[in-house]
Amino acid sequence: MRYSQSAGIDPAWAYGIMRQESRFVSSARSNVGASGLMQVMPDTAKYIARNLGETYSASRANSGDTNIRYGTWYMGDILSKLNYQPVLATAGYNAGPNNAKRWQPTYGAIAADQYVESIAFPETRNYVKHVMENATIYSSLLGRSQPISQRMGTIPAAF
């Protein structure tokens, strides 16, 4: 996936997000307004376009290529804001980065699976589980097999 590299993210993780978001259906639309393969919300697409120095266009943001570029850029943006921890960033992609931070432990690091179980939103909790499982499968398919325990890692304390 060519946009993963420029966004500084693992392609298997991007595929994991895309599968969970849209099941690879480019015309997917959610009941809350997210659209495309990466299910980018309109306000998020505007934020991304602004940060990329582009003029926002709803039709372009929903096109397959741009939607993937926007989604992977946003994944990288969230990842950099959340300690480069993919589990935190996955929760942030689904529920917003501020919620992902709010769920971080206050004192001391914890295993990522403990963090996932502490996520307050059931939809996000299940989303993170599925994305990380998907990413583990895609890493194997891409010839970069990585155990899920290694992929998940630990969640640092909020600071």
pTM: 0.95
Q: Name, in order, each residue with C-beta under 8 angstroms of 42's C-beta and a sequence gap of 6 or more.
A: 33, 35, 58, 61
**Digit-coded pLDDT (tens) for 16-60:** 999 999 999 999 999 999 999 999 999 999 999 999 999 999 999
Write out the residue range of the structural domain in which residue 126 sits. Answer: 2-155
pLDDT at 94 over 90: yes
First to last CA, the chain: 33
Q: How far is residue 45's CA from residue 121's CA, in Å, rounded to a whole number?
A: 23
Range with top average pLDDT, 26-35, 66-75, 148-157: 66-75
How many structural domains is the chain composed of? 1
- pLDDT band, residue 1 (cuts 50/70/90): confident
Average pLDDT (107-113) is 96
Average pLDDT (113-136) is 98
**The pLDDT value given to residue 158:** 87
Strand partners, 40: 35
Mean pLDDT of the chain: 96
Active-site hit among 21, 54, 117, 123: 21
Average pLDDT (123-133) is 99
Is residue 117 annotated as part of the catalytic site, yes or no? no
Closest CA to 78 of 62, 101, 56, 61: 101
Q: How far is residue 66's CA from residue 27's CA, in Å, rounded to a whole number?
A: 13
Residue 43: which CATH number?
Answer: 1.10.530.10
